[in-house]
A and B are shown apart, each in its own frame.
Chain A
Amino acid sequence: MADVTFTVDGKKLTAPAGTLLIEACRKAGIEIPAFCYYPGLSLQAACRMCVVRQEKVPKLQTACTTTVAEGQVFVTESPEIAQARKATLQLLLGNHPLDCPVCDAGGECELQDMTFKYGAGESLYAEAKQHRDEQQWSPAVFFDRPRCILCYRCVRMCGEGMDVWALGVQNRGVSSVIAPNGEDHLDCEECGMCIDVCPVGALTSGSYRYKTRPWEMNHVSTICTHCGDGCKVTLGVRQSHEGTDLVRGDNRDKSGINGDFLCAKGRFGFDFVNSEERLARPLVRNASGRLEPTTWENALRVAAAKLKEVRDSRGGDSIAVLGSNRTTNEENYLLQKLARTVLRTNNIDHVRTADYATFARSLAGQEHKAASLRDAGNAPAILLVGGNPTEEHPLLAWQLRSNVRLNKARLYVVNHRTIKLERQAKAVQGVPPNGYRDLTALLDRNEGDLAKAVMAEESLLLIFGQEYRGEQMEALVSWGLKRGNVRFAYLGDHSNSRGAADMGVLPDLLPGYVSVNAPGAFAEEYAGMPAAPGKTAPEFLEMAQSGQLGALVVVGENPAQRLGWAPDALRKTFLVVQDLFLTETALQADVVFPAASLYEKTGTITNTFGDVQLAKKAADRPGVRPDFEILVRLADAMGADVKALVPFGKRGMRADFGQSRGAQSGEADRHAVWLASHGLEPKLSPFDPLAVLDEIERLVPAYKLDRLNLFAGNDVPTEPAFVPVSALTQPRADLVNPAHDGLFTSGTLGRYSAYLREIEEHQAHQLAETAAD
C-alpha cells in the first residue's frame, strides 16, 4: 500500500497506509505498552493498555487496532494517557498476587514492568484477594489463575499459531478463565508456545518453574539438536558446582529462522544434557571383559594402539567408521578426513535419513534452485509432497501455517496419508503409498483440482519428503526444473544429517559430493586416501559377521538400536564408540569416549534445507570432550600429523573460538564477529573447529558462507548447484533409513530426556483415556 505520513508525539512518521499504529510506532522506536496485542496474532483490543489520543477523536483510541492514514495526529504519552494506563493496572493488581519476588516470571514480567513504569503499586481495595491453587495441566504446562490477566495470547497462539486449539476462555465477566481442552488437563502438542507468549507468570513450564531467577542465568543462543529444521534456541545456563547447568530452553532471541517458534523438543528436550546417565569418564574393556572407567590418556592410548595395529597389519580396508547425524559439520568433515587419511579407509558411512546425495545430484549446476527454510515462510505457493511436517518438521509446519494465515499463501498437499497440514491446504491430492512416481504425470495432465491449481501457479516452492529417493526424486526435480520458477527443499531427520552427507561421511562421496573415483583436488589434499569407494553401513555388519572387520569407530550413532545390529555382531571387531551415553552400541565397545553434546560445543550445522548456522557452546560438563577434540587426540595418539589434519595456526592470532574456554562464550563470540569482519579468525588451537571450517570453505564450493552473518548468529544458505556434475556417481537410494521421529521422540538422544519421556507418557495416557471412552 502507498505510504502515508502522520504525526506521533510531534514526530512525522511514514508507513504504508493501513499499518497498525502500534507497529508503525515500534518501528520508529516509540514503544506503546500492550498486553493483548501480539504481532502475527489476531487483534483483541481487550487490555486497553495501548490507549493513545488521536486528534479530533473524542475517546482514547487503542493503538493496536488503529490503522494509520494520511495526516493523522497522535499523542502516545500524556498525563491523561498515563492515568488511563495506571488505572487499568490498578484494576489488574487488585486481584493479582503481589509476590513478584517469588513469582516464576519475576524479572521477565510485562505486568511488573508496566507497574514500575506507571506506578500503580498501591492497592485501592480493602477486599481480600482470591486465592486459587495452581494447576498442572500437563508435564509442560502449569497454570496459576490469579496471575492471569486474560490477554488471550495463549489462546490465540495455541489456536491460530499452532492450529491445536487446546486452550479456550470459559465463563464470563470476572469469572472468565483460561481453560484447557481436557477440563483439568491439556491434551496437546506440548510446544510451550503458550508459556512463551504469556506476559506474566500465569503459565509456567514444568521444566523450568521455580528453578532459578532469570537474572541468575546466562543466556546463550544456539541451535536445537533435535530435528532437521534447526531452530535457534536460547539456553539459560546457571553456574553450578559441576560446571554449569542448563535450566531453560526458550526463545528469547526471536531472531532465528524460527522467529517465535520452538517445539517441545527444542524447548524442553535439552535435559538429556543433565541426565544422570551421562558418561563422565572414558571406559575401556578390561581383561575380564568388563567396561571400566579409566583416564583419557589410557583410553586414547588403547584405542589408538589397536586402530594402528589393525590398519598396519590388516590394512585400512578392515576398518570402518560410522558417523553421526547430530555432530557438527567440522566434526563430520574431520571424521571422514581422519578415516581417509589416517585410518586409510573409505569405509565410512552414517545412517542416512534421507537421500541428500541424489538431491545434490539433481540440482547440480542449477543455481538458485535450492530453497531456504525462510522461503517456506514467504513463498506465495507451496507444493508439499509426502512427509508429515507437523510431526517431523515442526518448524516447517509452523512456517507453512503462518505463511498461509498471514500472507494468504497457497499450500498444496500431496500425500498417501491424511496429514494435519491439509487444514491449511488450498487443495489436497491423495496418492497410493507407492504412487508418488505418477505425480508429475498427473500434474502435467492437469488432472483434478490440485493439479489445475498447481499448474496455474506462477512460482512454486516444492517441498518433498523421504518418500522421494533416487531416480524418482531426479524425475520430480527435473519436472520442476523444466516447469521453471520452482525452488526445491528436501526433508530429512535430525539436526545435521544434511551436514553429514554434505561433508562426505559416505563411502563413495567426498565432501561436496565429489566422487571418490574422481577426487580432483582431494587427491592431493588427502594424502594416502584409498582409491576405491568403501563399504556401506549394512556392509560393515556383513564384514563384522564374516570376521573381516578388524575395527569400527562409531561417533554419535547407535547402530545396535537404529539398524538393529545384534548385540554380539561385533564380537570379533575392535569397537570404539564416542557418545553421550552408554547406549546399546557403547555397551559392546572396547573403548568408550564420553562426548560433549551439541549444547557443549561450537561449530556449524546444516539444516535439511541447507541453511548453515552456528551452534554455540552453552554449557560445560565435567569429563566430556567435543567429538572434534577426541578425534584430534586420537589421530595424535596414532602418530598422525595433526597439522595436516587440522590447518590450525596458519594465520592465527591468539585465541580460539571459545571452544576451550568456559561455557559462557558470549564474550568470545562478539570478539569473533569482530575478528571475522577483519579477516582475522583466530585458529591457534588444533581443537578449534573453525580452522576446519576454513578448509571446508576452500574445498566445498557449496559452502561459500557469509561468515559475518554466520557469526552474528544468522542462518546462511548453501548452494548445491556447485556440486561437480560430472563427478557424481549414482547414489545408493536403497540405503535410506528415515528415523520418522515425531513431536516427542528424537532417536536415542530423546530416550535420555526425562522430560520428553514424561510428555510421551502423558500423551499415551490421554490416548488410553480417549480409547476407553
Chain B
Amino acid sequence: MTPRESETMSIFSPALAARFDALVEKYPVKRSALIPMMLYAQDEIGYLSDAVIAEIADRLGLTELDVRNVASYYSMLRFKPAGRFNIQVCTNISCMLRGAYDLFDRFQEELGVGHKGITPDGVFSLEEVECIGACCWAPAIQVNYDFHDELAADSVPGILQQYRERAAANGGR
C-alpha cells in the first residue's frame, strides 16, 4: 500500500480530512478508526459512496472489500443516500406499547413514503428502527442524531415543520 499522495486528493472537507489524520493516531492500531471514520464520512457525504470507501480503505491500508465487509455489518451505515433528515422511529417493545406504530403510520401519511423511503424533495427519509435507548421516554424517535421523546401521533406535524424550517433556512433543500 502506498502512502496517501496528498491531502488535496481527499474527497472530504479539509476539516474532516484533518480529523481523520488525528483519528488514526489515537488508537494502538490504525484500523480501530474504521467505524468512527465511516460514520463521520457518512455524516458529511450522506452515504458511503464508492469514493468514500476507496479513500477510507486507502487511509487505513485496508482493501475495499474489507471496508465493505465491516460497513455492511452496521445498520446505521448506508450505501445509498438518505434524506437530509433521516427520521428513525423506534417500534421496539417499550415504544410499541406506547403507540410507536401509530406514530410511524402518521409519519408515513405525512411524508407519503414508507420504511426506507425518501421524500421527492430529498428533505426527509423515514425508517423504522430498533430500540434507540430511550425506552423510558417512549415512544421516541431520532432525526439524524437528535432525540425526540414522549411523542404522540399528533406531535408529528410539529416535528416535521421544525425540520422543514431548518431545511429552508439552509437554502431550500
Q: If A168-B68, A170-B68 touch, does A181 touch B73 (CB 8 Å cutoff)?
A: no
> CB distance B73 to A168 under 8 Å?
no
Chain B residues closer than 8 Å to A180, beta-carbon distance:
65
**A171 touches which of B64, B65, B72 (Cβ 8 Å):** B72
Give residues 102-126 of B contacting A (CB, 8 Å): none
Residue B66 lies at the interface, judged by CB distance under 8 Å to chain A: yes
Closest A residue to B50 using CB positions = A183
Chain A residues closer than 8 Å to B63, beta-carbon distance:
165, 181
Residue A339 lies at the interface, judged by CB distance under 8 Å to chain B: no
Closest B residue to A180 using CB positions = B65
Residue A103 lies at the interface, judged by CB distance under 8 Å to chain B: no
Minimum CB–CB distance from B11 to chain A (whole Å) comes to 14
**Docked complex Cα distance between A170 and B74 (Å):** 10
Chain B residues closer than 8 Å to A183, beta-carbon distance:
68
Chain B residues closer than 8 Å to A181, beta-carbon distance:
63-65
Give a binary string over B70-113; 1 marks a CB under 8 Å from any A CB, 0 the rest. Answer: 00110000000000000000000000000000000000000000
**Docked complex Cα distance between A181 and B65 (Å):** 5
Chain A residues closer than 8 Å to B64, beta-carbon distance:
181
Could you tell me the dominant secondary structure of chain B's interface residues? helix
> CB distance B69 to A169 under 8 Å?
yes
Minimum CB–CB distance from B104 to chain A (whole Å) comes to 22
Residue A646 lies at the interface, judged by CB distance under 8 Å to chain B: no
Chain B residues closer than 8 Å to A170, beta-carbon distance:
68-69, 72-73
Chain B residues closer than 8 Å to A171, beta-carbon distance:
72-73
> CB distance A165 to B65 under 8 Å?
yes
Give a binary string over A134-150; 1 marks a CB under 8 Å from any B CB, 0 the rest. Answer: 00000000000000000
Residue A172 lies at the interface, judged by CB distance under 8 Å to chain B: yes
**Docked complex Cα distance between A183 and B64 (Å):** 10
**Docked complex Cα distance between A165 and B67 (Å):** 12
**Residues of B in contact, count (CB < 8 Å):** 8
**Docked complex Cα distance between A763 and B69 (Å):** 23
Closest B residue to A167 using CB positions = B65
> CB distance A172 to B73 under 8 Å?
yes
> CB distance B69 to A179 under 8 Å?
yes
Residue A166 lies at the interface, judged by CB distance under 8 Å to chain B: yes
Minimum CB–CB distance from A448 to chain B (whole Å) comes to 23
Closest A residue to B68 using CB positions = A170
Give a binary string over A713-756; 1 marks a CB under 8 Å from any B CB, 0 the rest. Answer: 00000000000000000000000000000000000000000000
Minimum CB–CB distance from A661 to chain B (whole Å) comes to 50
Chain A residues closer than 8 Å to B66, beta-carbon distance:
165, 168
> CB distance B65 to A172 under 8 Å?
no
Give a binary string over B40-66; 1 marks a CB under 8 Å from any A CB, 0 the rest. Answer: 000000000000000000000001111
**Docked complex Cα distance between A168 and B73 (Å):** 12
Minimum CB–CB distance from B75 to chain A (whole Å) comes to 8
Chain B residues closer than 8 Å to A166, beta-carbon distance:
65
> CB distance B68 to A179 under 8 Å?
yes
Chain A residues closer than 8 Å to B69, beta-carbon distance:
168-170, 179
> CB distance B73 to A179 under 8 Å?
no
Chain B residues closer than 8 Å to A179, beta-carbon distance:
65, 68-69
Chain A residues closer than 8 Å to B65, beta-carbon distance:
165-168, 179-181
Give a binary string over A161-188; 1 marks a CB under 8 Å from any B CB, 0 the rest. Answer: 0000111111110000001110100000
Minimum CB–CB distance from B157 to chain A (whole Å) comes to 35
Chain A residues closer than 8 Å to B68, beta-carbon distance:
168, 170, 179, 183
**Docked complex Cα distance between A165 and B62 (Å):** 11
Minimum CB–CB distance from B116 to chain A (whole Å) comes to 14
**Docked complex Cα distance between A167 and B68 (Å):** 11
Minimum CB–CB distance from A185 to chain B (whole Å) comes to 12
**Docked complex Cα distance between A166 and B68 (Å):** 12
**Docked complex Cα distance between A166 and B64 (Å):** 10
Closest A residue to B71 using CB positions = A170
Chain B residues closer than 8 Å to A167, beta-carbon distance:
65
Minimum CB–CB distance from B60 to chain A (whole Å) comes to 14
Give residues 481-498 of A contacting B (CB, 8 Å): none
**Docked complex Cα distance between A373 and B100 (Å):** 67
**Docked complex Cα distance between A180 and B64 (Å):** 11
**Docked complex Cα distance between A380 and B68 (Å):** 37
Chain A residues closer than 8 Å to B72, beta-carbon distance:
170-172
**Docked complex Cα distance between A167 and B69 (Å):** 9
Minimum CB–CB distance from B83 to chain A (whole Å) comes to 23
**Docked complex Cα distance between A767 and B69 (Å):** 23
Chain B residues closer than 8 Å to A169, beta-carbon distance:
69
Closest A residue to B73 using CB positions = A172
Minimum CB–CB distance from B139 to chain A (whole Å) comes to 25
Minimum CB–CB distance from B35 to chain A (whole Å) comes to 14
Minimum CB–CB distance from A169 to chain B (whole Å) comes to 6
Chain B residues closer than 8 Å to A172, beta-carbon distance:
72-73
**Docked complex Cα distance between A181 and B54 (Å):** 13
Give residues 12-26 of B contacting A (CB, 8 Å): none
**Docked complex Cα distance between A179 and B72 (Å):** 11
Minimum CB–CB distance from A42 to chain B (whole Å) comes to 16
Minimum CB–CB distance from B109 to chain A (whole Å) comes to 29
**Docked complex Cα distance between A166 and B69 (Å):** 11
**Docked complex Cα distance between A173 and B69 (Å):** 13
Minimum CB–CB distance from A177 to chain B (whole Å) comes to 9
Minimum CB–CB distance from B8 to chain A (whole Å) comes to 18
Closest B residue to A187 using CB positions = B65
Chain A residues closer than 8 Å to B73, beta-carbon distance:
170-172
**Docked complex Cα distance between A166 and B66 (Å):** 9
Give residues 22-44 of B contacting A (CB, 8 Å): none
Most chain A CB atoms below 10 A, which of B63, B65, B73: B65
Closest B residue to A181 using CB positions = B65
**Docked complex Cα distance between A353 and B147 (Å):** 71
Give a binary string over A107-124; 1 marks a CB under 8 Å from any B CB, 0 the rest. Answer: 000000000000000000
**Docked complex Cα distance between A506 and B77 (Å):** 66
Closest A residue to B62 using CB positions = A165
**Docked complex Cα distance between A165 and B65 (Å):** 9
Closest A residue to B66 using CB positions = A168
Most chain B CB atoms below 10 A, which of A167, A168, A183: A168
**Docked complex Cα distance between A169 and B69 (Å):** 6
Closest B residue to A172 using CB positions = B73
Closest B residue to A183 using CB positions = B68
Minimum CB–CB distance from A424 to chain B (whole Å) comes to 16
Minimum CB–CB distance from A168 to chain B (whole Å) comes to 4
**Docked complex Cα distance between A115 and B103 (Å):** 47
**Docked complex Cα distance between A208 and B64 (Å):** 31
**Docked complex Cα distance between A180 and B73 (Å):** 16
**Docked complex Cα distance between A348 and B153 (Å):** 94
Most chain A CB atoms below 10 A, which of B63, B68, B72: B72
**Docked complex Cα distance between A183 and B69 (Å):** 11
Closest B residue to A175 using CB positions = B72
**Docked complex Cα distance between A165 and B69 (Å):** 12
Minimum CB–CB distance from B132 to chain A (whole Å) comes to 18
Closest B residue to A182 using CB positions = B65
Minimum CB–CB distance from B9 to chain A (whole Å) comes to 13
**Docked complex Cα distance between A181 and B66 (Å):** 8
Most chain B CB atoms below 10 A, which of A165, A170, A172: A170
**Docked complex Cα distance between A181 and B69 (Å):** 10
**Docked complex Cα distance between A478 and B73 (Å):** 56
Minimum CB–CB distance from A153 to chain B (whole Å) comes to 16
**Docked complex Cα distance between A215 and B163 (Å):** 67
**Docked complex Cα distance between A115 and B64 (Å):** 38
**Docked complex Cα distance between A48 and B149 (Å):** 42
**Docked complex Cα distance between A171 and B79 (Å):** 12
**Docked complex Cα distance between A167 and B73 (Å):** 15
**Docked complex Cα distance between A169 and B71 (Å):** 11
- 6 A-B pairs whose Cβ atoms sit less than 8 Å apart in the complex: A165-B65, A170-B68, A170-B69, A179-B65, A179-B68, A183-B68
Please give the residue numbers on chain A whose beta carbons come within 8 Å of chain B beta carbons, in ascending order: 165-172, 179-181, 183
The 10 A-B residue pairs with the shortest CB-CB distance in the complex, in nearest-first order: A168-B69, A181-B65, A170-B72, A168-B65, A172-B73, A171-B72, A170-B69, A169-B69, A170-B68, A165-B63
Identify 12 new A-B residue pairs, CB closer than 8 A, beyond the known A179-B65, A180-B65. A165-B63, A166-B65, A167-B65, A168-B68, A168-B69, A170-B68, A170-B69, A170-B72, A170-B73, A181-B63, A181-B64, A183-B68
